[in-house]
Amino acid sequence: MGRLGPTEIILILVVIILLFGAKKLPDMARSLGKSARILKSEAKAMKEEDKSSAPADPPHQADEQPAQRIIQAAPGDVTSSRPVTEPTDTTKR
């Protein structure tokens, strides 16, 4: 008990397909892959940041600003890399 056999796995997959529909599954898998890539790159950036901020570094001066960290989106994802402008209200009251 506690183990899933091939019959149970197939039954679970059939239920998932019935619940979400066959058309939405590729989009869900794609977004899950993008999220996994972003998470992986963030974890790598945090590790590199920890290595670079070793105690042997000289202290920063007060007028020096810390460098901005750039977060890259998943490859091919251009929607999150464009600046967003706020809509303006053109109606007059």
User: Which residues are CB-neighbours of 66 under 8 A, at least 6 positions away?
Assistant: 60
pTM here?
0.38
Over range 5-11, report the average pLDDT. Answer: 92
**CA angle at residue 55 from 57 to 70, to 5 degrees?**
65
Q: How far apart are the first and last CA of the chain?
A: 69
Chain mean position to CA 59 = 32
- The string of pLDDT tens digits covering residues 17-56 is 888 887 888 888 899 999 999 999 999 999 988 888 755 5
Closest CA to 77 of 34, 41, 42, 40: 34
